Structure 1
Amino acid sequence: MTVPEIPASDVPTDGYLLDVREQDEWVAGHAPEAVHIPMTQIQGRVEEVPGDRTVYVVCRVGGRSLQVAAWLNQLGREAVNVDGGMQSWAGASRPMVSETGHPPFVA
C-alpha cells in the first residue's frame, strides 16, 4: 500500500496534525496545534484520532510517521505522511513551540 505524502510546507494550517515522536522530542519543539500520541502508544489510543477528516502524521524525519500513516490507512482512516518530518517543518519556517521555556528546536 502506497502512503500519500505531503511536504511540510503544504500541510493545511487547520489540518489535524498528529505528532508521533517521543515525549522528549515533543517537549523540545512541536507545531502549536499538533496532537501528541507517541508511536509506541498509537495502538492503544487510536480512538483519539479522528476518523472523519484527513490526519497528517509527523515525526522527526518521516520514518515513524510513514509507518503510523500506513497503519491508520489500513484501519480505513485517511492518513497522510508529512515528508521530511519536523526537520522539514522547521526548514519551511512553520510555527513551532516548546514546553521548556526555551526556543523550540527539532530534537
Structure 2
Amino acid sequence: MFTADVDTREAERLAADGTVLLLDVREHDEWAAGHAPGAIHVPLAELDPATLPGDRPIVAVCRSGNRSGKAAATIGAAGLRVRNMAGGMNAWAEAGQPVVRDDGSTGVIG
C-alpha cells in the first residue's frame, strides 16, 4: 500500500539500517551517472512489482519524484508497502547526501 512521501534524510536513514529498500526507477544512463548507495535499479518501464521483495517497505526514487510517484502507485496497487522519496535524487544531492557510481566513485545527478 502507498503511504505518504518520505524526505531524503529519512530515506537515507531507513535504507542504512535496512528498514527499507531503495528502488531507483530512473533510466539506465541516469543510474550510471550516479545513484544513492545501496539502491537497486529497475527502470520504470521495466518495473514488475511481482519481482520485488515483500519483506520490507520500498522507497521509490527517481530524479525529481514524478516517475517514482508513478512507480509507488503501481507497487502499492500490487499490495506492497511503498513510499515515494520527495524531490528525488535532485533533492538527495542538494542535501549533500552521497551519490555514487557502480564502481564506487563519486557520481552526479544531471
Query: 1-side partners of 2:26 and 2:3: how far apart?
Result: 19
Aligned ranges 1:51-70 → 2 under 5 Å: 51-70=54-73
TM-score where L is the length of structure 2: 0.85
RMSD across aligned positions (CA): 2.0
TM-score where L is the length of structure 1: 0.88
> Per-residue displacement from partner, 1:5-29 (whole Å, max 9, x unpaired)?
0111111123310000000000000
Identify unmatched segments of 5+ residues in structure 1.
Answer: none
Q: Which residue of 2 aligns with 1:24?
A: 29
Considering fraction of residues, name the structure with more strand. Answer: 1
Identify unmatched segments of 5+ residues in structure 2.
Answer: none
Any runs of at least 4 consecutive aligned residues in structure 1 with deviations exceeding 3 A, and if so which? 99-103
Q: Which residue of 2 aligns with 1:87?
A: 90
Count of residues in Structure 1 that have an aligned counterpart in Structure 2: 105
Percent identical across equivalent pairs? 39
